[in-house]
Homo-oligomer: A and B are copies of this chain.
Amino acid sequence: MPNQKHPHKKSLHEIDGISQPDFINQDSIQNIQKFRRKPLNTDALIQKLLQGDIPSLSKTITLIESTNPKHQEQAHKIIQSCLPHANKSVRIGITGVPGVGKSTFIEAFGMYLTSIGKKVAVLAIDPSSSISRGSILGDKTRMEDLVKNENAFIRPSASGESLGGVSRKTRESIILCEACGFDTILIETVGVGQSETAVHSMTDFFLLLNLAGAGDELQGIKRGIMEMADAIVINKADGDNMDRARNAKLDANRGLQLFPMKESQWKPRVLLASAYYRTGIAEVWQLLENYFSLTKENGYFETNRNNQNAYWLKETINEQLLLNFYENNVIAEALSQEEKAVQNNEKSPFAAANELLDLYERIVKSM
């Protein structure tokens, strides 16, 4: 049972890094161990995944996250086979500062969605998770109902490396979840640097969770998050907090006025909810349904997904081109020398850049 005395303090624990728990259930661990004993059969994995087998989904996501080139190759084959079966879902991004109650909201929202017949996958983007050891979604006890729900699949953020790498893995996981039959994908992120932009660029709808309290609405503006939001949900709108929540709603509505009309023609809305008492949750889904009917009718839904695909194509290329350069040992050595020369004003940054680019061209040709 949650702590009735200080229900709102619960999610503040998120700030601490918590050891990452097993993120698959015991059944699927046994399944994977079985797989490991014999060589993995790609075709069998694909077949089971398309039939909605969750252990196969988990296993394939583990392949995506593996740094082993063989696993990577296998993962790409599976993704390729899943593509024709993907794309039939709604993808919802959820963000908010730590303490806003994201996990509680996702638990309440996910439980509501499964109660109306949806199959819900919860993914996360948290580039910091390698340090905090997967605090987002890591504490399964914060989603104790949803984690036991057979129509829900919860997977914490891929850990380690760059935001680009984590984003790629999450985006590939979306395809796999959809091919596995999940029709509602929730992608959680926390307000760290560019992770919101990444989530925004892979979702159909972007939901900002706010708290009642002065300044919150301006923090959203400042970080450029409010501009992306399709809805703002003021969470913890319950009990003594109701008046402040209503004021926060007014403020948020005022904040939204500052932004120009969205390309989707959708006018962002502000709602009140209490994830803890599970009030206002159905209204959030109703709003999303309104959004989806508008954007599917006016064509934005599909256009946006096409643009997102094109965006990720270029993002992947750009990231890899830069990584190839900076991760080259000879370049790394030369770069640190050129940096010194540039900082001491012995060389212009542009002359130094040209020398490094010439060096790189010679290296690539000799490889």
Q: A132 to nearest B CB, angstroms? A: 21
Identify which of B76, B339, B345 contacts A84 (C-beta below 8 A): B345
Q: Contacts A317-B325, A317-B356 given: A79-B222 contact, CB under 8 Å?
A: no
CA–CA, A354 and B219, complex, Å = 38
Interface residue A365 (Cβ < 8 Å from any Cβ of B): yes
Oligomer: number of copies: 2
| Chain B nearest Cβ from A263, distance in angstroms | 17
Query: Does any Cβ of B come within 8 Å of A1's Cβ?
Result: no
| Chain B contacts for A313, CB-based, 8 A | 338-339, 342, 349, 352-353
Give bound CA distance, A140 to B155, whole Å: 61
Residue from B83, B218, B353 within 8 A of A348 (CB atoms): B83
- Selected interface stretch from A99-107, A185-193, A304-312: A304-312
Which of chain B's residues have a CB closer than 8 A to the CB of A351?
Answer: 76, 79-80
Out of B219, B258, B350, name the residue touching A215 (CB < 8 Å). Answer: B258
Closest B-chain residue to A310, C-beta based? B339
Shortest Cβ gap from A173 to chain B (Å): 12
Give complex CA distance A311, B342 in Å. Answer: 10
**Nearest B residue to A356 by beta-carbon distance?**
B317
Which of A80, A172, A349 has its CB near the most chain B CB atoms (within 10 A)? Answer: A349
- Given contact pairs A316-B353, A365-B367, A342 touches B309 in the complex (Cβ within 8 A): yes
CB contacts under 8 Å to B, within A57-115, are: 76, 79-80, 83-84, 86-87
Q: How far is the CA of A83 from the CA of B341 in the complex (A)?
A: 12
- Residues in B whose Cβ lies below 8 Å from that of A7: none
Which of B306, B322, B346, B365 is A321 in contact with, Cβ under 8 Å? B322
Which residues of B have CB within 8 Å of A346? 83
Given A76-B351, A320-B353, A364-B365, check contact A343 B310 (CB 8 Å): yes
Q: How far is the CA of A80 from the CA of B349 in the complex (A)?
A: 10
Please, which residue of chain B has its CB at the minimum distance from the CB of A307?
B343
Q: Which of B80, B219, B348 contacts A172 (CB 8 A)?
A: B348
B215 A348 Cβ-Cβ under 8 A: no
Name A303's closest neighbour in chain B (CB-CB).
B343
Q: B84–A312 contact, CB under 8 A?
A: no
Distance of A316 Cα from B357 Cα, bound (Å): 10
Asked if residues A318 and B322 are in contact (CB atoms below 8 Å), the reply is yes
Residues of B within 8 A of A224 (CB): 224
> Could you jot down 27 A-B contacts, CB within 8 Å?
A76-B348, A76-B351, A79-B351, A83-B345, A84-B345, A168-B350, A172-B350, A218-B258, A222-B227, A224-B224, A306-B343, A309-B342, A309-B349, A310-B342, A312-B349, A312-B353, A313-B339, A313-B352, A313-B353, A316-B350, A317-B325, A317-B353, A317-B356, A317-B357, A320-B353, A321-B321, A321-B357
